[in-house]
Structure 1
């Protein structure tokens, strides 16, 4: 996202039903987990200066989301400075920081259209963007791509994502898939939880990293479709009975805690 596309709306308050104590407790826990995930992204090198987003829906009355405060690096995000917004990127309550509504176009369209898309993640990692720019896209040639058989959607590049009408086309291209390669742009994942979205994105990004490294060696050895399909069925990290990525995310959050636990503030 370029600086010229940024709009900074005035702070405002939106009328809403009073949250219950349980909703407030759930929101606080979600704030801590999301802030820690931003720090984990920074630890992994999945940052793009002050751009890109992870959004998550807050349980309770209204359709509200948490998003990073615009202008801060992921290492500066903490539980209290995450901004609560509605699906149109209006600030709920007040915030000392603006949001970047241009960056929320893709997220808003998905949150609106897909009931279980409680978390949406978008990155511009070098490996992910390189594969997104390639003619072939993701190739079925490595251990990680084999775990994503028939799981990856594609959306053609339409320029900087600032136009709301593109959202409907992104949703249509996503269909029933839960990870997407935005051609010439980057990677995207959704999940019913932060952990679920994360483990999907990590697997896709890791597949892109290995593909990029393999390209330097010449032609890659293809994996047969039936083996890839079996690998995807056997991949435990996507299975809710095996935590759907929760154990992976918690392991990363423990690392973040050892580095800098200030994300909990």
Structure 2
């Protein structure tokens, strides 16, 4: 199957398939997956507005480059695939891809720490260095039920704005990036900030918040640090880790 798909697509598409499959498996490896639910989508180059998403029903730790499904903006298959897709689950992703030219990859999770913080009125608190990076580029979207309705898309896009991070209230976390590497590394920081916050609040002791002045100063620093450096530095090491613990994503 992998050789058949690889022979049918460009080298650029195949590399994106490999990176996206790795991203899925890393999400599983770090424990952020939710059985077969949620998506990580990637826009393919070209004017057709085609995307790669996961085959519905596969767990994230078994996804491969060849099993990813190519779809259009409405999540209709545009290339033969034996695997089903979940059009309803693509609602959030299609809205963001359509509105943000720079959002080549959209990563959405239902992680326990992320959902826990999304349910807290104050959202992300300035309690850690990780949180300052998130707060430098964070939007919030109120819960409107399971995201299936077309009329929610404009509100979702407006709440994301030009940010990298979006907290979906009572629902989970979302990041966007130029590629799967950047989207993953942003999610790593987002998830870490939420995990630290949950643990800090559970400690039952007085907390030391980071000053607003420092948080504001982080906005400029974050723009310098995050432009291509996250994926460029950490991604090769993450792939080596994946090769040791769950190889085969490139098939």
Do they superpose with TM above 0.5? Answer: yes
Deviations 1:109-142 (A, max 9, x none): 0001111111000001111000001111111111
Cα offset for 1:245?
2.5
Provide the aligned length of Structure 1 versus Structure 2: 243
Q: What is the root-mean-square deviation in Å for CA atoms of aligned residues? A: 1.7
- The secondary structure found in structure 2 opposite 1:264 is coil
Deviations 1:79-123 (A, max 9, x none): 000000011000012111111111100000000111111100000
Q: Distance in 1 between matches of 2:219 and 2:237?
A: 23
Q: Distance in 2 between matches of 1:221 and 1:230?
A: 18
Q: 1:220: which partner in 2?
A: 207
TM-score normalized by structure 2? 0.92
Q: 2:176: which partner in 1?
A: 190
Q: 2:226: which partner in 1?
A: 238
Deviations 1:174-197 (A, max 9, x none): 112121000000000111121221
Residue correspondence of structure 1 range 44-123 to structure 2 within 5 A: 44-123=30-109
Q: Distance in 1 between matches of 2:178 and 2:55?
A: 22
Where do 5+ consecutive residues of structure 2 fail to align? 1-6
**Contact 1:199–1:238 (CA<8 Å) still a contact in 2?**
no
- The secondary structure found in structure 1 opposite 2:248 is helix
Residue correspondence of structure 1 range 29-40 to structure 2 within 5 A: 29-40=15-26
Q: Distance in 1 between matches of 2:85 and 2:225?
A: 32
**Contact 1:153–1:177 (CA<8 Å) still a contact in 2?**
yes
- The secondary structure found in structure 2 opposite 1:145 is helix
Q: Distance in 1 between matches of 2:21 and 2:111?
A: 19
TM-score normalized by structure 1? 0.87
Where do 5+ consecutive residues of structure 1 fail to align? 1-20
Matched, 1:150 2:136: yes
Matched, 1:180 2:166: yes
Q: 1:126: which partner in 2?
A: 112
Name segments (4+ residues, structure 1) moved above 4 Å: none
**Contact 1:124–1:187 (CA<8 Å) still a contact in 2?**
yes
Cα offset for 1:148?
2.5
- The secondary structure found in structure 2 opposite 1:170 is helix
- The secondary structure found in structure 2 opposite 1:144 is helix
**Contact 2:19–2:181 (CA<8 Å) still a contact in 1?**
no
Q: Distance in 2 between matches of 1:239 and 1:106?
A: 24
- The secondary structure found in structure 2 opposite 1:261 is coil
Q: Distance in 1 between matches of 2:107 and 2:116?
A: 18
Q: Distance in 1 between matches of 2:157 and 2:34?
A: 24
**Contact 2:136–2:218 (CA<8 Å) still a contact in 1?**
no
Q: 2:155: which partner in 1?
A: 169
